[in-house]
Structure 1
Amino acid sequence: MIDPPESALTGTLGPPEVMMPARLPVPAGLGRLLVLGVVFVCAACGLVYELELVALATYLVGDSVTQASVVLSVMVFAMGIGALLAKRLRCRAAVGFGAVEAGLALVGGSSAMALYACFAWFAQSRSALVAFSLVIGVLIGAEVPLLMTLIQRVRRQDAGGAVADLFAADYVGALVGGLAFPFLLLPSLGQLTGALVTGAVNDVAGGALVLWLFRRDLSRRARWTLLVANVLVLALLATGVLLAAPFERAARRAVYGSAARVAVQTGIQEVVLTGGTGTGAGRARKGSGPPLELYLDGRLRVSGDTECRYHEALVHPAMAAGPHARVLVLGGGDGLAVREILRYRAVRSVTVVELDPGVLRLARTDPGLTRLNDHSLGDPRVHVVTADAFDWLRDRDAPGHRTAPYDVIVSDLPDPGITASTKLYSQEFYGLATRLLADRGRLVVHAGPPVARARAYWTVDATVRSVGLATDPYRMPGRPASFFGPDRSADPTPRSTGEPLTAGPTPGYWGFVLAARQRPRFGPAPDAPPPPVTREALRAARQGDLRDRIPGLPASTLMRPRYQD
């Protein structure tokens, strides 16, 4: 009969040489509490690293579901690898844990800055994301076996009790880190500084535990090596904090091609304005300086050179097809769609529902943007609501909150391929919008690029039709090649309509869907301004779309989104 190992007889978690009692400067009970406290701090920092990678990847790449899946799956896989590798360090658990925490603090703390640099200068954010997820996951995975060894060396206890104590501290720490990231670190420090400060906290906690509590387990050489390593990591992270602001300005110049005139991190997104400083009213004039460009989370959403064509194509077909006294704009916080709506004399009221108050503030106060939107949000007929469009529509459908129906509903929202926008292109969303539509009312939807993301575009059409509306999809050329979609790729060369295009890099198409209870018609309204979009252009746009239609697509719903090509 083979004798069981001592660990099985005593209930410890390793061979005798690993489980030698530690020589602590404090009583064992206090030492155990300190180890659990460090577990708590390290768990909080580790979750902040994960959330920071997910958030930054979503800002830089888009499609939060994909990015979250990549980060979390790679990290969990890497944590398993780290746990296996840590088995080799258990005989020197204190030194190993100190080295792991110093490395994790440096890699995790600098990850946001490094990812932004890869995105800005090398266009390699996806590969960098996977690499950082892998390295951080390996280091986080190595923590638990080493901490388990250390806590058993402080005071031996049965394996189940040690695991329960360690994971309780770990999970509570993860809760604190998960709440601190969106409510404290991100709004007060931002992505870059928040990650660097988290790395510093991680470094101090891990270094203090090893260099003080377990210092008698370390050789003189090991103590000095860990001390120098921790001080060096802290110095690098502190340098990163000092350089964060100039680094961010340089990275913005690399991303946007010119110095960002306005850069605001709202509670919703990063808002950047460039150009648009020339004099003159209304639209940008030739020779008056670079055109205004509005970026949301690094994606060009408004270009002063081409926005007129987009907003005219979005607004005028719906306005000209029937009554338009009451208009609802979902999104459109830049005021540019409202500018086109107010060109109609019969308009009596316009309600704008915009999620981001930061965009609204810029649309009212920024000199370049107010010149471009003709101060439309200050018109007495315009009522602005800061709310999520889906929630606002649902509230309007509740008893006691119903309003008079709208003649025109304009959905001026980001492309449906962006995960955050998916619910705003769902069957449920259009069902709520239809309930606020007058009998002869029209709904017009910005449906994304019809060539680059054809399946998503025709899914929008199928989803609108699924709520009982007849649709008339159409497209307009002029979408700039620099107008990034959710995957930051430009449209391919346009086709089908053969209309003349604007100068510069070969543009693509903007896609729209016009809908009504009866088939909507294109035609001028009695009070319409000079037609910016001719009937011939609309006819050509409709014919091009009908030739390229993808039939038989199912509707997109909240529980089954279908916009990921």
Structure 2
Amino acid sequence: MPVPAGLGRAYVLASVFVCAACGLVYELELVAMATALVGDSVTQASVVLSVMVFAMGVGSLVAKRLRCHAAAGFGYVEALLALVGGGSGIALYASFAWLGQATVALVVISFAIGVLIGAEMPLLMTLIQRIREQDAGGAVADLFAADYVGALVGGLTFPFLLLPFFGQLTGGLLTGAVNVLAGGLVVQWLFRHDLPARTRRRLLAANGCVLLLLVGGSLCVEPFERAARHAVYGGDVRVAVRTHEQELVLTGGTTPEQWRKAGELRLFQDGRLALRGREAHRSGRALVRPAMTGGPHGRVLVVGGGDGLALREVLRRPGVDSVTVVVPDPGVVRLARRDPGLRGLNGGALDDPRVRIEHADAFRWLRERARGDAPPFDVIIAALPDPASAADPKLYSQEFYGLAARALADDGRLSVPGGRTAARPRAFWTVEATLRAAGLRTCPHTPADGGRGYLVARLPGPAAEGCDAGGGRFAPGRPPVPRGPAPDLPPSTLMHPRYPD
């Protein structure tokens, strides 16, 4: 050994620490990327973790055949793991962009990374015993201690350092570069006398090629993302920005006149269609007007709606004194203020002096507000995505509606989207059942020219009786949707979310 045995063990354990941190970054990157591309974070996390843990068992069995060449085996495993794990984000994004799906790629990549991570520990056990013989229990304890501490550091590094400062793709590639350096240096330096000269040169060439690929890939991330966006959204991508919360993409022209040539304006949030230019005002009116016509509306709360469309409809009603907008991502508000297309749709509503914007999680904001003596709201508008595709199901839970009810005046109204009634009637009626479970009286309605359903809810009382209590503006000439009585469905709660993607 080029160093004393104690120092050699420390180097091996440091390598275990770094490799474990990199391995957990790969897992978190796959979960985050799959959730952004496919949705349903619970399912994606379950697929990644279960496949990866199973594959780790397979990798441990495979590593038994490499113990006679533990140093070379570990060097090749780390080089391959750095290449597969570091490039996993790019591979998953490419599969989604050009093949139209990411599930198969997610399973294959998770399995490959799991096999390689599982092969690490038997090889490291063999290497650390070569430095200095000790009982198996003590060696395993040392290795797992370094492994678990490294996993902690990797788990914290991904959301607080890599994701905000480098993004998913570049962060993954840089993690792979650290991984190949950590594994290669230990093998090439500490165990170089265990390797024949030819094997050492081959391993050095493999590590060098992987490192060059990862560094080169990090330099090409921007053109790759641009090409992938064009493959996903078409060639009319006009704006693409990454905020701390999500990726925002705008396509199409900035005015209705330009939509004929450059395509209709569309806003995508993490790949999900959040806004269409031709439907923007229609959906805003359907969500806002029924609640605003049913009584006082001087104080209004808008949950979500960072694009300003629901806010525009609110401010068009006379008698509005103040509007509070609670939106978690300031990047959406910034884009809606600056982009001429979105600003043309919202009419500059976000800059109205009556508007106060709070950048916060709506659930937490309402919960903290309930502890004080703040005046109630006359109207609450939940300008949220459809429940079946919402990334934050707690905003469609019984607990959230209960907090909203506490923030309402006695004759206040809460307006909630229920999604497309024809495509997902169960999700719509689950919203209705959840509102009733929170102690609210509901009125389902559908705009005369659309297939989306909405619900207006009130606190129990005389004003809540019947769907015509809000001025008779609910779907003129049409019954509540869908036709027939509402099915008896369980409500959605924090512990039992009921909105599958």
Category of TM-score, reference length = shorter chain: over 0.9
| Secondary structure, aligned partner of 2:278 | coil
Does residue 428 in structure 1 map to residue 399 in structure 2?
yes
CA offsets, 1:236-262, max 9 Å, x none? Answer: 112211111100000011111134322
- Is contact 2:379-2:408 (8 Å) kept? yes
Q: Percent identity among equivalent residues? A: 63
Does residue 519 in structure 1 map to residue 461 in structure 2?
no
In the alignment, which of 374, 397, 404 is matched to residue 347 of structure 2? Answer: 374
- Is contact 1:65-1:419 (8 Å) kept? no
Amino acid of the structure 2 residue aligned with 1:552 = D
- Is contact 2:328-2:360 (8 Å) kept? yes
Structure-2 residue corresponding to 1:555 = 491
Name the Cα RMSD after superposition.
Answer: 1.9
Amino acid of the structure 2 residue aligned with 1:106 = L
| Secondary structure, aligned partner of 2:495 | coil
Does residue 195 in structure 1 map to residue 172 in structure 2?
yes
| Secondary structure, aligned partner of 1:157 | coil
CA offsets, 1:327-359, max 9 Å, x none? Answer: 111111111001111111111111111111111
In the alignment, which of 369, 381, 396 is matched to residue 410 of structure 1? Answer: 381
CA distance in 2, matches of 1:546, 1:523: 20
Does residue 42 in structure 1 map to residue 19 in structure 2?
yes
Long gaps (5+) in structure 1: 1-23, 477-498, 502-508, 526-533
CA distance in 1, matches of 2:43, 2:470: 44
Structure-2 residue corresponding to 1:446 = 417
1:229-240 equivalence runs, <5 A: 229-240=206-217
| Secondary structure, aligned partner of 2:499 | coil
Structure-2 residue corresponding to 1:7 = none
CA distance in 2, matches of 1:118, 1:286: 29
Structure-1 residue corresponding to 2:126 = 149
Structure-1 residue corresponding to 2:229 = 252
In the alignment, which of 283, 286, 292 is matched to residue 319 of structure 1? Answer: 292
Q: CA deviation at 1:420?
A: 3.9
Q: CA deviation at 1:286?
A: 6.1
Q: CA deviation at 1:183?
A: 0.7
- Is contact 2:23-2:151 (8 Å) kept? yes
Residues 78/539 of structure 1: CA separation in 2 closer, same or farther (3 Å cut): farther
More deviation, 320-329/288-297: 288-297
In the alignment, which of 161, 185, 195 is matched to residue 184 of structure 1? Answer: 161
Structure-2 residue corresponding to 1:158 = 135
Long gaps (5+) in structure 2: none
- Is contact 1:203-1:230 (8 Å) kept? yes
| Secondary structure, aligned partner of 2:497 | coil
**Bigger helix share:** 2
More deviation, 360-369/190-199: 360-369
CA distance in 2, matches of 1:520, 1:207: 72
| Secondary structure, aligned partner of 2:419 | coil
| Secondary structure, aligned partner of 1:443 | strand
Number of equivalent positions: 497
CA offsets, 1:29-58, max 9 Å, x none? Answer: 111111001000100000000000000001
Amino acid of the structure 2 residue aligned with 1:138 = V
Residues 317/50 of structure 1: CA separation in 2 closer, same or farther (3 Å cut): same
Q: CA deviation at 1:198?
A: 0.6
Residues 524/391 of structure 1: CA separation in 2 closer, same or farther (3 Å cut): closer
Does residue 217 in structure 1 map to residue 190 in structure 2?
no
Q: CA deviation at 1:318?
A: 1.2
CA distance in 2, matches of 1:393, 1:500: 33
Does residue 355 in structure 1 map to residue 328 in structure 2?
yes
CA distance in 2, matches of 1:296, 1:251: 15
- Is contact 1:514-1:520 (8 Å) kept? no
| Secondary structure, aligned partner of 2:482 | helix
Structure-2 residue corresponding to 1:306 = 279
TM-score norm. by structure 2 comes to 0.95
Q: CA deviation at 1:448?
A: 2.2
Q: CA deviation at 1:211?
A: 1.4
TM-score norm. by structure 1 comes to 0.85
In the alignment, which of 542, 545, 554 is matched to residue 482 of structure 2? Answer: 545
CA distance in 2, matches of 1:370, 1:550: 39
In the alignment, which of 418, 432, 436 is matched to residue 461 of structure 1? Answer: 432
CA distance in 1, matches of 2:474, 2:194: 84
